[in-house]
């Protein structure tokens, strides 16, 4: 295959990962112009293009070298690795992206008195993930029938084609609507950046390294808050112990008040009202919690 001088990323054409993925790439400074058939997006600012496809096709396109990277659910990536991906060579999960969270779970009819996995022995389990389900069954020493379905897995017990299901769960509302109960979690999933284990040795490898740095910055910023407050020298230690996790805070002297400081702390994650109230009780004043727009370490 002729080497390419532009980085190509595969992502879901339409679905729950599409908009968050585009937003994430935009925050990394990437902008695109979509083709008329809406299957290809040409990168306008950086040599990075998008190929819009079905999510199940993304791991195969990476393995075949058609695309360099892909934004895909961890569940899809690992299922590919356990089935079709074995001959093409292993792929890597380069980064978890923090959106599209769900879990692959086993669910049984609500009326079943389920207590442990061994009760699944001899049953029929419907799923769209036979690789992941088969691996879990082997790990637990359970012999059960795997009924592979392309969709509508949740109605299989009502149709009499299965005794239980193994499917993706977000809120659990679909299970309740079909009189099912979640019992075992096989995999915690979210959108990930997937790619080959080795980076390309040409310009695309450099672009991937740059993209990973930008992604790290965007993800860290998305989960961070900047806390500003005033404190005195006597309450400084108590306040510092209460600060949410993050780098050491920065102290700035207040002009004309040698015992007063302005404290600036980068906090990993949200800062709750309860945390603010505890910090205030320790002696903090004039507290502000600000979003962080960009950060480059």
Task: For 256-272, write each residue's pLDDT tens digit.
Answer: 888 899 999 988 777 88
* Distance of alpha carbon 50 from alpha carbon 12, whole angstroms: 10
Q: CB of 187 within 8 A of CB of 75?
A: yes
Over the stretch 139-174, which tens digit does the pLDDT of each residue have? 999 999 999 998 889 999 999 999 999 999 998 899
**pTM (global) more than 0.85:** no
Indicate if the pLDDT at residue 199 is higher than 50: yes
Task: Give percent above pLDDT 90 in the chain.
Answer: 67
Give me the phi and psi of 132, to 5 degrees please. Answer: -65, -40
Domain range summary for the chain, segments of one domain joined by +: 7-100+191-221, 102-189, 223-291
Region for 280 from its dihedrals, namely left if φ exceeds 0, alpha if ψ lies in -120 to 50, beta otherwise: alpha
For the chain, what is the mean pLDDT? 90
Q: How much of the chain is in helix, strand and coil states, percent to nearest 5?
A: 30, 35, 35
pLDDT at position 297 is 61
Q: Position of tokens 């004309």? A: 256
Do the domains 223-291 and 7-100+191-221 match in fold?
no
Q: By three-state DSSP, how is residue 24 classified?
A: helix
Greater confidence (294 vs 107) lies with 107
pLDDT at position 198 is 85
Whether CATH 1.20.1260.10 fits 102-189: no
pLDDT at position 248 is 81
What number of other Cβ atoms are within 10 A of residue 212's Cβ?
17
pLDDT at position 45 is 85
Residue 1 — very low, low, confident or very high, per pLDDT cuts 50/70/90?
A: very low
Indicate if the pLDDT at residue 225 is higher than 90: no
> Hey, what CATH topology would domain 7-100+191-221 get?
D-Maltodextrin-Binding Protein; domain 2 (3.40.190)
Greater confidence (279 vs 247) lies with 279
Report the CATH number of the 223-291 domain.
Answer: 3.30.70.120
What number of other Cβ atoms are within 10 A of residue 106's Cβ?
24
Q: CB of 51 within 8 A of CB of 40?
A: yes
Over the stretch 73-117, which tens digit does the pLDDT of each residue have? 999 999 999 987 555 567 999 999 989 999 999 999 999 999 999
What number of other Cβ atoms are within 10 A of residue 154's Cβ?
19
Residue 186 — very low, low, confident or very high, per pLDDT cuts 50/70/90?
A: very high
């Amino acid at each position: 295959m002729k080497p390419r001088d532009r980085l190509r990323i595969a992502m879901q054409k339409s679905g729950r990962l599409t908009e968050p993925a585009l937003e994430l790439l935009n925050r990394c400074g990437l902008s695109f112009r979509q083709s008329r058939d809406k299957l290809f997006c040409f990168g306008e600012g950086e040599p990075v293009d998008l190929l819009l496809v079905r999510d199940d096709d993304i791991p195969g396109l990476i393995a075949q070298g058609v695309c360099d990277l892909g934004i895909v659910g961890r569940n899809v990536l690992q299922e590919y690795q356990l089935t079709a991906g074995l001959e093409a060579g292993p792929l890597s999960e380069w980064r978890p992206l923090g959106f599209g969270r769900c879990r692959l779970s086993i669910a049984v009819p609500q009326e079943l008195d389920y207590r442990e996995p061994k009760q699944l022995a001899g049953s029929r389990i419907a799923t769209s993930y036979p690789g992941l389900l088969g691996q879990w069954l082997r790990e637990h020493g359970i012999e059960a029938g795997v009924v592979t379905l392309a969709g509508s897995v949740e109605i299989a017990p009502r149709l009499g084609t299965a005794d239980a299901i193994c499917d993706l769960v977000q809120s659990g509302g679909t299970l309740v609507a079909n009189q099912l109960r979640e019992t075992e979690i096989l995999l915690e999933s979210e959108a990930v950046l997937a790619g080959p284990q080795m980076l390309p040795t040409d310009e695309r490898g450099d672009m991937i390294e740059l993209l990973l740095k930008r992604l790290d910055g965007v993800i860290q910023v998305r989960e961070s808050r900047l806390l500003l407050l005033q404190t005195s020298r006597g309450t400084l230690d108590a306040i510092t112990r209460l600060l949410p996790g993050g780098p050491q805070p920065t102290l700035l002297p207040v002009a004309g008040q040698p015992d007063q400081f302005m404290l600036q702390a980068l906090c990993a994650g949200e800062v709750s009202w309860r945390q603010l109230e505890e910090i205030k009780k320790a002696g903090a004043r004039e507290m502000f919690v600000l979003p962080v727009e960009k950060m480059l370490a």
